[in-house]
Amino acid sequence: MPSPPLTGRIRVPGDKSISHRSLMFGALAVGRTRISGLLEGEDVLATAAALRAMGVHIERDGDEWVVHGVGVGGLLQPDRALDMGNSGTSTRLLMGVIASHGITATFTGDASLSKRPMNRVIDPLSTMGASFTPSPGGTLPLTMEGMQPAVPITYRLPVASAQVKSAVLLAGLNTPGTTTVIEPVPTRDHTERMLCGFGAELTVEEADGERAIRIHGPAELRPCDIAVPGDPSSAAFFAVAASVVPGSDLVIENVGLNPTRNGIFRVLGQMGADIEKLDEREVGGEPVADLHVKHSRLRGIEVDPAIAPSMIDEFPILFVAAAMAEGTTTTSGLEELRVKESDRLSAMATALQEVGVTLEETDDGLIIEGSHGEPLPGGGTIATHLDHRIAMSMAIAGLVSRKGVEIDSTEPIATSFPNFTALLATASS
């Protein structure tokens, strides 16, 4: 049976992207950085463990985390392999950090991470002087040797990837001269915002629709106090749930609404979702608001592919919203989803068909026929492919399914949203 309405006020965990970066930048600053609201998911804890292995003292102090930074260039040779678990962000950003340090590191990960492509980071970092011995296909396990001093480069991103951009900029921190990244399509800009907050000499210029980001090294970073806002990717699951479950009236507090990350809320608005921003404010250089979401009748739309970089992680849950809408929703330009924790296009197509959704999978998107707000048939067991976003998206689909949805494993959810199930139970009780 479909779920009761989602009501009350909830607060989602801290932003994963900002949590990773706050630990790394704190480690590269000289002195003590305090972080409140850090996401304590497995991915972020993998970042903390890797930094500890390179000589950074990181401790939890009550509700805060304290990082005693060693300064740019101060990381030590790790005495063991760096186990990244399922975290692609940790891996690619730390490869950038290590690329301009005179140390050697081996990266390992779980079965899912070991299938993900690393060549997109290896290529520019090799140009800067780092050397890599990856597994066949450019995957983990991978050993790399940094170069000190590294060589500054100008790099045009071949694909829209904040991780690749950030890896090159992080390598630039300990590289004499100016390292430049050119973005044909803007991607999430947490790295740029936070590096400026930590005192890096960084400039961003826009011309002819492109962004040129320049960092001048070697940098001296100063410690900061950081308040991590709620993760918009996590908030998206509840925003969709409240939009599609009849009678819902839910406030999601303290959600980060960085314009390079808030595409999901803009698209839901285009579909007719009733989402109101309350108490809009700025926290640590990031726009934040409370989101008041009420049940609404969604309509199918053609999603502009240009918005994809600002919501690439949220398409799985958008597909669930589309399944409940009136009419057809068409998505395209989503090739990137095929190289995430799983092939998310294929995994979500199969999962939604399993619960009775009519759709077509294309090379770069899904075309989904909505149910006009009627509950989905449900039933069937969903293969998550060890992907946290598939698991959570289909859990939300279960809320509006007659027979419910069975998920083969909820364990991957801990990578990004450890209290997801508990919070869902609270909101729908």
Residue 343 annotated in active site: no
Cα 71 to Cα 196: distance, rounded to the nearest angstrom: 16
Output the six-digit token pair for 158. 């071949």
Q: Which of 326, 274, 264, 275 is nearest to 298 (CA)?
A: 326
Q: Which of 34, 33, 42 is nearest to 13 (CA)?
A: 42
- Catalytic-labelled residue, pool 313, 343, 364, 387: 313
Cα 16 to Cα 134: distance, rounded to the nearest angstrom: 26
Active site residues: 313
